Amino acid sequence: MHDPALDDDEQPDEEPFARVGPASELPPGNAKMVPVGEYDIAIFNVSGELFAIDDVCPHFAGSLAEGTVSGETVSCPVHGWCFNLRDGTMPNGRKSVNTFDVHVENDELLVSRAPRRPV
């Protein structure tokens, strides 16, 4: 059961990061969706830099991991809505998606179980 007194929605005995697979299976130029708790998270490798955002486009629920990446922007494969991979915002600022911390430890991809807090 969720204890609201815990910081960052962490449960007792639950690590703040989830192991989601070998980093070597996500080479530059690729993306993949991983389920972590109640989230589907899209992880992108852009020229060796990792980004993690909510996989579900708020417009029509398209998988952003299946979208097209240009620079640090991904466009949804359903209707082309674009989101910045760093902060999850749309260029026009109307909508955004959650972003997550992601890093590599001993060739293992680790992604935060909770989204970053908006700035």
**Burial level of 58, CB count in 10 A (0-12/13-18/19+)?**
middle
Task: Convert the pLDDT of each residue in 34-59 to its tens digit.
Answer: 999 999 999 999 999 999 999 999 99
Low-confidence ranges of the chain (pLDDT < 70): 1-13, 118-119
Can you tell me the distance from the alpha carbon of 81 to that of 72, in angstroms, rounded to the nearest whole number?
Answer: 14
Can you tell me the distance from the alpha carbon of 55 to that of 33, in angstroms, rounded to the nearest whole number?
Answer: 7
Q: pTM, whole model, 2 decimals? A: 0.86
Q: Tokens at residue 87, please?
A: 């902060």
Closest CA to 107 of 25, 8, 14, 6: 25
Domains and CATH numbers, the chain: 31-112 (2.102.10.10)
